[in-house]
Structure 1
Amino acid sequence: MHIEVAKKSLQKNNQEVYNFLIDIKNFEILMPENIDKFEVLDANTFKFALSGMPEIILRLKEQHPYEKIVLGAASDKLPFTLTVNIIATSENESEVGLSFEGEFNAMMAMMIKSPITNFMETLSKNMDKIA
């Protein structure tokens, strides 16, 4: 299953965006308002739960300075990745695109597609909070 949300233009350069996002504790700032739990487990891993959803543990899997960050499920039970692509559009602006990739059976995909899309859209919208 592949999901992408519209790219978000930011008044921050790609280096600022990248540096903010590789510090995983900053993802709490980007989370939806209906977050029930957010916990940093180590320098590369965090756990969160949204209302009515199971806990999800994400781990920083790949870092490509100033261009790309890949977060993945810490568990192999539901393998997926959340990729952040950062594109410099000018000296002080960048564009951030989020994409989700996961292998799920048809029933599971049908159940999670909408909540995951909504979650990603909220993360993208909240990118304006990057300090």
Structure 2
Amino acid sequence: MSVFESKVLLKKPVSEVYAFLADMSNHGKLMPENVIGWTSDADLASFEIQNITKLSLKIHNRITNREIIIIPAEKPPFDMELKWLLAESGTDTEATFTITANLNMLMKMMASGPLQKLTENETQRLTEIFS
């Protein structure tokens, strides 16, 4: 399994950050520009990564103010899990976004850079939204 992770400290209460991330409709605001055709509701999102693939993701589990686990709603090109972990730090929130992917050697060579960039992009956009 390959793991890609990015962590940020947000100057907002954990309940506010959790409320935003617990709704899949808000995740479209975190996506890079090459994500097109975003459609979503509170639990499910479908989109296309331009010139690469179409994906459908759903929230698999929510633990209030602590964790959100997102998994593919349809068979993806490779098995993966996306996880947001939230930790209260005084009045701030530490948010960690992790993508765990089961990549074969060829996929690992092709996808590692973009997946790491995606984790960093999502946490950076989250920082911008909450600043």
> TM-score, structure 2 length as denominator?
0.88
Letter in 1 for 2:65: Y
Letter in 2 for 1:79: D
Match of 1:109 in 2: 108
The structure 1 segments of at least 4 consecutive aligned residues displaced by more than 6 Å after TM superposition are: none
Match of 2:57 in 1: 58
Count the aligned residue pairs: 129
Matches of 2:5 and 2:99, distance apart in 1? 9
Match of 2:44 in 1: 45
Gap regions ≥5 residues in structure 2: none
Identity %: 23
> Contact conserved, 2:44 with 2:59, CA < 8 A, in 1?
yes
Matches of 2:108 and 2:75, distance apart in 1? 16
RMSD: 1.7
Gap regions ≥5 residues in structure 1: none
> TM-score, structure 1 length as denominator?
0.88
> Contact conserved, 1:20 with 1:130, CA < 8 A, in 2?
no
> Contact conserved, 2:4 with 2:115, CA < 8 A, in 1?
no
Matches of 1:115 and 1:127, distance apart in 2? 18
Matches of 1:8 and 1:104, distance apart in 2? 26
